[in-house]
Amino acid sequence: MNAPLIGVSVQRKEDYRFLTGAGQYTDDVTLPDQAYAAFVRSPHAHAAIKRISIEKAKTAPGVIGVYTGADLANAKLGSLPCGWLITDVNGQPMKEPPHPCLAQGKVRHVGDPVTVVVATTLEQARDAAEKVEVDYDVLPAVVDPVKARGTKENAGAPVLHDIAPDNICYVWALGDKAKVDEAFAKAAHVTKLDFVNNRLIPNAIEPRAANGSYSRANDAYTLYVASQNPHVERLLMTAFVMGLPEHKVRVIAPDVGGGFGSKIYLYAEDVVVTWAAKQLNRPVKWTADRSEAFLSDAHGRDHVTTAELALDKDGKFLAMRVKTTANLGAYLSTFASCIPTILYATLLAGQYKTPQIYCEVTAVFTNTTPVDAYRGAGRPEATYVVERLVETAARELKIDPAEIRRRNFVKEFPYQTPVALQYDTGNYGATLEAAQQLADVKGYAARKEESSKKGKLRGIGYAAYIEACGIAPSAVAGSLGARAGLFEAGEVRVHPTGSVTVFTGSHSHGQGHETTFAQVVADRLGIALEAVDIVHGDTSKILFGMGTYGSRSIAVGGTAIAKALDKIVAKGKKIAAHLMEAAEADIEYDRGVFKVAGTDKQKAFGEVAFAAYVPHNYPHDKLEPGLNENAFYDPANFTFPAGTYVCEVEVDRDTGQVSVERFTAVDDFGKIINPMIVEGQVHGGLVQGIGQALTEGCSYDAAGQLVTGSLMDYCLPRAGDVPSFKIDTRETPCTHNPLGVKGCGEAGAIGAPAAVMNAITDALGVKDLAMPATAQTVWRSLQKKAA
């Protein structure tokens, strides 16, 4: 009999290895006879390749292979696929230009891989890569999505792909435009804002890495790769690019040093090292340096939007109209197409009963690094639109920003939004009220006065976000264009003496699944936490998996495990009934013990497990020996975490420097397994969100050179840039999974940017300000206002 483990801040099982340097990240894996790859990348944003001369590189010391796009084409390696088909408003499929692993005739962004050099040492590979000569015919480039999209004004804009002569991948819309226009015509007030949701560069601290090897003896490949979803990586690589049978490819994503979306995708380098390993009959390792990471990891966000909110005279929302141009970069990354559509427009209802919403999205190719999901993925962009509009409307109508939200909150559940989603549960008033209390909003006026005495401006801003996690169900996603399932798999292996190994298709790269999932298993079986180990990240061990993204792991992966546990207990009951000569219907399972109801007869979990593997006294006529079960879980709906964030900033009038003085977050994640881990997820998300608002802004010059191409130019928040946080939770359990869980990984990054920008615009007394609100941007705004 063991104590409950749900809702307990258990210390993490994985910490010992990380704290002692015993973690095994991809670059830590060095195989016998290891060779190293270096990629030659395009220095130009847009150019035709006239000639590639590899002779000098081939004869450089230590070089064992040099390959170009022509070699990959000869080997019939396919294009990197996109996993989501969006259908254009005119009914046509989106434009899917080829995305070769090494450039074929043309490069389309700085960093586009052109040639790979493999050598005995990394230094030799890098030295030899310098000797590859590529003659380029440089073409004009376009980096601004609004200037790239095919319109009369943009006639003559550079064209990236023949298949998309207007650089438009698709135009997509959601909602009833006529009804929205009608509501706007009758509105008492309209609030309108233009936004740029700034492009971000994910910057997981572990750079991407891949180490491919090939065994002639087994005719089989192994790829170690810094990935969030090794099974998806394998499926895409084998079925769509390399034409290999999956059972001949093992993908291992060992310890992974943060992902934030950027390690979901199948990247060119992963394919190239795997393919080259067979050509050379040697393992080939590539690890990005930070400069390569900046140029080649999928970026995030990059929307240009005009949004309007129609209200009646009492501040009730009548309709919302949103027009967005989304920058996809030079190629379609793995899930790029669904981010500014399915994961964006569907979230525009926020926490509110806005009856009519229309959103139109034009997705555009530009000569920039491909853009895909980055922590939040579409939902931060939607929240930014909604919460900046709502706060601005409140100011314009002179209604308290909390009050205008309260007047419009969805209060009855389930709630069908006008943008496809159905919220199952929530209590938005509760998180708002708790956030106001915890933030001491009542004391704000006094704090503003204090700031004023110091000569500083002070502002307060709210954001009441909603997110949709655990994208599902597969059938609905499929009808919307998903080319993959969105279930998760789990397997529970009970060993003969009653300890348990669990295999999950979710992948942990900081989230602490080895602890949280073990808590779920130990709690539900009523066994010791130490008796449970979680295995993830290896396609040869785990039956299948869709991986970790979109805050789905506990809701989808955790539920798959819970379903497998149910099967374990069900089989255990049959075995226990036989052992105790009782009817199966009379067996109860209570925290580690099978009991015959109404008697004192019982068998411990371990005894039943032992009987399953040493089946001397066993119902062989009815039951197979062994105690090992798996489950696939395909959710009935998304989960809908929500919460309210309150930010207070101080602004230095002379320098424009913004300081986040207080930040309060109250979230509703449904049931929480490990509060300590959940708090950590919130902290991390908040700082990424604050980073977007204050410090992080990807910048390209007009020629397409990445100006913010290093950590000295792209400002990740440092410890001194952010405060400690006040956080709390409220709980409305998810109604459609047995754990009642919703997910917490992205909330901070979704809610924080709007809260920070609402606070800064309040402090400055301006309607709008661009992110990131660097000292220069704020100072300019102050000067403009003074003038």
Partner 1 sequence: MSVKVSMKVNGKPASAELEARTLLVTFIRENLRLTGTHVGCDTAQCGACTVLMNGRAIKSCSIVAMQAEGADIMTIEGVAKPDGTLHPMQQAFKENHGLQCGFCTPGMVMNALDFAKGHPNPTEKEVRESLEGNLCRCTGYHNIVKSIMAGARAMGGKI
**The binder of partner 1 chosen from 2, 6, 8, 14 (CB under 8 A):** 14
Binding mask 620-659 for partner 1 (x = CB under 8 A): ----------------------------------------
Stretch that binds partner 1, among 85-93, 230-238, 460-468, 503-511 (CB under 8 A): 503-511
Beta carbon nearer to partner 1, 259 or 370? 259
Q: Can you tell me the distance from the alpha carbon of 272 to that of 253, in angstroms, rounded to the nearest whole number?
A: 17
Beta carbon nearer to partner 1, 203 or 630? 203
Q: Can you tell me the distance from the alpha carbon of 329 to that of 180, in angstroms, rounded to the nearest whole number?
A: 31
**The binder of partner 1 chosen from 214, 260, 517, 610 (CB under 8 A):** 260
What is the spatial order of strands in the sheet that 602-604 belongs to? Answer: 587-590, 593-596, 602-604
**The binder of partner 1 chosen from 11, 437, 540, 776 (CB under 8 A):** 11
Footprint of partner 1 on 726-755 (CB under 8 A): 748
Distance, C-alpha 105 to centroid of its chain: 32
Amino acid at 272: V
Q: Containing H/E element for 225?
A: strand 220-225
* Residue 539 CB, nearest approach to partner 1 (Å): 21
**The binder of partner 1 chosen from 21, 91, 156, 598 (CB under 8 A):** 21
**The binder of partner 1 chosen from 684, 697, 751, 772 (CB under 8 A):** 684
Site for partner 1 contains 205 (CB under 8 A): yes
Q: At what angle do helices 747-764 and 675-694 cross, to 10 degrees?
A: 40
Footprint of partner 1 on 691-710 (CB under 8 A): 710
**The binder of partner 1 chosen from 112, 233, 387, 679 (CB under 8 A):** 679
Are residues 496 and 610 in contact, defined by beta-carbon separation less than 8 angstroms? yes
Site for partner 1 contains 685 (CB under 8 A): yes
Contacts of 583-586 spanning 24+ positions with Cβ under 8 A: none
* Residue 13 CB, nearest approach to partner 1 (Å): 10
Widest distance between CA atoms in the chain: 91
C-alpha distances in Å from residue 535, one per residue of 209, 492, 510, 514? 21, 10, 14, 8
* Residue 345 CB, nearest approach to partner 1 (Å): 28
Site for partner 1 contains 32 (CB under 8 A): no
Site for partner 1 contains 59 (CB under 8 A): no
* Six-digit token string for 662: 């207080």
Site for partner 1 contains 20 (CB under 8 A): yes
Binding mask 274-313 for partner 1 (x = CB under 8 A): -------------x-xxx----------------------
DSSP letters spanning 89-117: TTSPBPP-----SS-SSEE-STT-EEEEE
Site for partner 1 contains 683 (CB under 8 A): yes
* Residue 101 CB, nearest approach to partner 1 (Å): 24
Binding residues for partner 1, rule CB under 8 A, total: 57
**The binder of partner 1 chosen from 111, 145, 175, 257 (CB under 8 A):** 257
Q: Can you tell me the distance from the alpha carbon of 94 to that of 91, in angstroms, rounded to the nearest whole number?
A: 9
C-alpha torsion sign, points 433, 437, 438, 444: positive
Burial 601-623 (b: 16+ CB within 10 A, else e): bbbbbbbbbbbbeebeebeeeee
Asked if the peptide bond before residue 100 counts as cis, ω within 30 degrees of 0, the response is no
Burial 245-275 (b: 16+ CB within 10 A, else e): eeeebbbbbbbbbbbbbbbbbbbbbbbbbbb
* Six-digit token string for 782: 């102050």
**The binder of partner 1 chosen from 168, 277, 502, 677 (CB under 8 A):** 677
Q: Counting Cβ atoms within 10 Å, is residue 520 exposed (0-12), middle (13-18) or buried (19+)?
A: buried
* Six-digit token string for 556: 């989808």
Stretch that binds partner 1, among 17-25, 304-312, 388-396, 467-475 (CB under 8 A): 17-25
Stretch that binds partner 1, among 82-90, 199-207, 414-422, 583-591 (CB under 8 A): 199-207
Picking from 314, 324, 302, the residue whose alpha carbon sits closest to that of residue 193 is 324
Are residues 268 and 103 in contact, defined by beta-carbon separation less than 8 angstroms? no
* Residue 512 CB, nearest approach to partner 1 (Å): 7
* Residue 684 CB, nearest approach to partner 1 (Å): 5
Binding mask 98-137 for partner 1 (x = CB under 8 A): -------------------------x--------------
Beta carbon nearer to partner 1, 18 or 785? 18
Contacts of 26-29 spanning 24+ positions with Cβ under 8 A: 26/206, 26/209, 26/210, 26/211, 26/224, 26/225, 26/226, 26/253, 26/254, 26/256, 26/287, 27/206, 27/207, 27/209, 27/211, 27/285, 27/287, 28/254, 29/211, 29/224, 29/254, 29/285
Beta carbon nearer to partner 1, 14 or 396? 14
Site for partner 1 contains 509 (CB under 8 A): yes
* Residue 17 CB, nearest approach to partner 1 (Å): 8
* Residue 550 CB, nearest approach to partner 1 (Å): 17
Residue 69, φ and ψ in degrees, nearest 5:
-55, -35
Stretch that binds partner 1, among 155-163, 360-368, 400-408, 509-517 (CB under 8 A): 509-517
The total number of residues shown for the chain amounts to: 787
* Residue 198 CB, nearest approach to partner 1 (Å): 17
Stretch that binds partner 1, among 68-76, 104-112, 474-482, 678-686 (CB under 8 A): 678-686
Q: Counting Cβ atoms within 10 Å, is residue 508 exposed (0-12), middle (13-18) or buried (19+)?
A: buried
Residues forming contacts to partner 1 in the complex (CB under 8 A) are 11-12, 14-25, 27-28, 30, 123, 203-207, 255-258, 260, 287, 289-291, 509-512, 676-677, 679-680, 683-688, 710-712, 716, 718-720, 722, 724-725, 748
